Chains A and B, each alone.
Chain A
Amino acid sequence: MGLVVIRSVCRGRRLLRVAGVGAVALGVLTVSACSSSSGAADSAGSSASGAGAGKVSGDVTVFAAASLKESFTELGKKFEQKYPGTEVTFSFGGSDSLAASINGGAPADVFAAASPRTMKLVTDQGGAAGTPVTFVRNRLEIATLPGNPDELASLKDLTRSDLKVVLCDRTVPCGAAAQKALDAGGVKVTPVSYEQDVKSALNKVALKEADAALVYRTDVKAAGDKVEGVDFPESAQAVNDYPITVLKNAGNTGAARAFIDLVRSAEGQKVLTEAGFLQP
């Protein structure tokens, strides 16, 4: 029964609302179902989108979390190629401030947030059309200096007194996740600073002012060779879900849905996993 619905999401591409019924729970199944039978789903998907291509046109405005910048920019280009005549405009920023802008009436068609909490800010105000679905997940890594000179191997190593560690402030998503991971490991870290967002925390390490920071895998990846990532098992306890939704005040609902379909397609997921995201 559930599978029938899922298949139709993979193929139909218009049935997002159906998938939205059990958003998070189904979301996990949905994409794994799509990607596991990637060959069949892909061909089915492209034929379906081919049929709907005529209707997708015009401009679509996407508000997305800052951590999605690289991958969404790429997906935006793919979208414009796929649907000639469309134009995707992005606004990247902290999920909190994006949510505030949307609630304040900013003209946006799609909202992709870095945490369910920030998405809730919008859904609580009735700003979403349908129920948001999780399209990727992100987990933490220890970012340290290239070559790992301090030989960090676990969360516990961050408690060493000779280390300068920065964390995100608890009020921002990456800080909340860091706190969760530290609690899970029973580790108490006294940082030199609680940074205001994940990029600031990362930059402190990239500039060699701090020896280590707890940031997302995607940020470590985006920083290239300026930092080195160290995985730790407790990060599994603090995985961040990224929800996406069409907005109620969307001026171009058709294109908005098509964009979300692309993000959730095998093609979209490939771009996102390459950036370090985990599939939902």
Chain B
Amino acid sequence: MTALRKSGAATGPRTGPWFRHGRTEREGDGGRRRTGVPGALLVPALVGLAFLLLPLLALLLRAPWSSMPELLTSTEVWQALRLSLICASAATAVSLVVGVPLAWLLARAEFPGRRLVRALVTLPLVLPPVVGGVALLMAFGRNGVIGQWLDAWFGITLPFTTTGVVLAEAFVAMPFLVISVEGTLRAADPRYEEAAQTLGASRFTAFRRVTLPLIAPGVAAGAVLAWARALGEFGATITFAGNFPGRTQTMPLAVYLALQNDPEAAVALSLVLLAVSVAVLAALRDRWMTAS
């Protein structure tokens, strides 16, 4: 129940656009009332907003604007940025393919130990990412539980490869998607699916034709969360996939290493990453709005 409310809160603002049609009246109604925002809510809200935005503002103020052009034209930066975008998108795709069915299983299927499984799914959220990276090495590394067979049978080694980056990012980002989708599934009325089934649809057809369109907003919101998390991933990536320019060095890794001897460059690189992610997120949001 708490999980439901929590994820509802998390997805709420993002799912807004899809529900806008249904809510227009109420929103128009609330528009008049909004002038009287209670101070008990407004003050902490503004404090919260300032707390989130001030560090970013400081980053902008202290940015080495004069050396920006030079940085932005360096091939290493573009390489890292390109790799970041590709890997984060691939990790989101992986999360969608296995994460949505997993969320469905947790929300709709009855099986013993479901609560435990749900708790386990969220573990990567609390696990320090560096530990996550070590765990991935122990599972998929050259000498890992599964990795040694991958190596022996197919000659596949995952550490130090771009695939390894995608894997590390998916490991850290997928729980965000699963939680978001599961919350939406719980809020969605199961009677639609039941009705589809009584009309002869198989359970999978009902999922594909009824459930999936119904929960699309939650899936999209979860995908955005997962993408954003994957884009900023550092600990698991550098531990599992290492750091090699063009192959596994994503932007957060480049930023961290620049921080060691050239903090100004690190600030500039972070700004590039921030600008790109804001641009992508804003563009996606616009598309969804017009689509709905």
Q: Does A204 belong to the interface (CB within 8 Å)?
A: yes
Task: List which A177-216 residues lie within 8 A (CB) of chain B.
Answer: 191-196, 200, 203-204, 207-209
Q: A80 within 8 Å of B by Cβ?
A: no
Decide if B243 touches A207 in the complex (CB within 8 Å): no
B142 contacts which chain A residues (CB < 8 A)? 208-209
Find out whether the CB atom of A169 lies under 8 angstroms from the CB atom of B257.
Answer: yes
Chain A residue contacts of B134, Cβ below 8 A: 203, 207
- Complex interface: chain A residues within 8 A of B258 (CB): 171
A176 to B, closest residue via Cβ: B261
Q: Is A42 an interface residue (CB 8 A)?
A: no
From A164, A171, A172, A208, B160 is in contact (CB under 8 Å) with A164
Judge if B35 is at the interface, Cβ distance under 8 Å: no
Contact A209:B143 (CB < 8 A) given known A169-B257, A193-B243, A196-B243 = yes
Chain B interfacial residues counted at CB < 8 A: 24
**Among candidates B160, B245, B249, B256, residue contacting A192 with C-beta atoms closer than 8 Å:** B160
A-B interface contact total, Cβ < 8 Å:
58
Please tell me if B238 contacts chain A, counting CB pairs below 8 Å: yes
Q: Which one of A94, A171, A192, A208 contacts B242 once the chains associate, using CB atoms below 8 Å? A: A192
A164 contacts across to B, CB distance below 8 A: 160
Q: Is A166 an interface residue (CB 8 A)?
A: yes
Give every chain A residue within 8 A of B253 (Cβ-Cβ).
Answer: 196
| A193, A200, A209: the one within 8 Å of B244 (CB) | A193
B138 neighbours in A (Cβ, 8 Å): 207
A53–B48 Cα gap in the complex (Å)? 52
Closest Cβ of chain B to A6, distance in Å, is: 35
**Across the interface, which residues of B come within 8 angstroms of A203, CB to CB?**
134
- Shortest C-beta distance, B148 to chain A (Å), equals 10
User: How far is B269's CA from A171's CA once the two chains are assembled, in angstroms?
Assistant: 16
Interface string of A125-152 (1 = CB under 8 A from B): 0000000000000000000000000000
- Any B CB within 8 A of the CB of A96: yes
Pair A207/B143 contact, Cβ less than 8 Å: yes
List the B side residues contacting A209 at CB < 8 Å.
Answer: 137, 141-143, 159-160
Per-position 1/0 for B137-155, Cβ under 8 A of A:
1100111000000000000
* Chief secondary structure at chain A's binding surface: loop
Which of B159, B160, B242 has the most chain A CB atoms inside 10 A of its CB?
B242
A208 CA / B142 CA spacing, docked (Å) = 7
How many chain A residues touch B (CB < 8 A): the figure is 19
* Given the contacts A171-B261, A200-B239, A209-B137, A192 and B244 also touching, CB distance less than 8 Å: yes
Q: Which of B216-266 contact A (CB under 8 A)?
A: 238-239, 241-245, 248-249, 253, 256-258, 260-262
Whole-angstrom distance between the alpha carbons of A191 and B253 in the complex?
16
Contact: A193 with B257, CB < 8 Å? no
Residues A169 and B243 in contact, CB atoms below 8 Å apart: yes
For B260, give its contact among A96, A200, A208 (CB under 8 Å).
A96
- Asked if A195 contacts B260 (CB within 8 A), the reply is no
A269–B260 Cα distance when bound, in Å, is 30
Give A105-126 interface residues, CB cut-off 8 Å to B. none
Across the interface, which residues of A come within 8 angstroms of B239, CB to CB?
A: 200
Q: Are B141 and A196 in contact (CB under 8 A)?
A: no
The answer to whether A194 and B141 touch (CB under 8 A), given A169-B257, A169-B260, A171-B258, is no
A207: chain B residues at CB < 8 Å are 134, 137-138, 141, 143
The complex places the Cα of A191 from the Cα of B245 at a distance, in Å, of: 11
Please tell me if the beta carbons of A204 and B242 are within 8 angstroms of each other in the complex.
yes
Alpha-carbon gap, A209 to B137, bound state (A): 8
The CB with the most chain A CB atoms within 10 A, among B241, B243, B253, B258, is that of B243
Which residues of chain A come closer than 8 Å to B256, judged between CB atoms? 196
Residues of A within 8 A of B238 (CB): 195-196, 200
Q: List 5 A-B residue pairs with CB atoms under 8 Å apart, sorted by A's residue number.
A: A94-B260, A172-B260, A196-B238, A196-B243, A209-B137
Contacts A194-B242, A194-B249, A196-B256 supplied; 4 other A-B pairs, CB < 8 Å: A96-B260, A171-B261, A194-B244, A196-B253
Q: Spell out A's residues near B (CB within 8 Å).
A: 94, 96, 164, 166, 169, 171-172, 191-196, 200, 203-204, 207-209
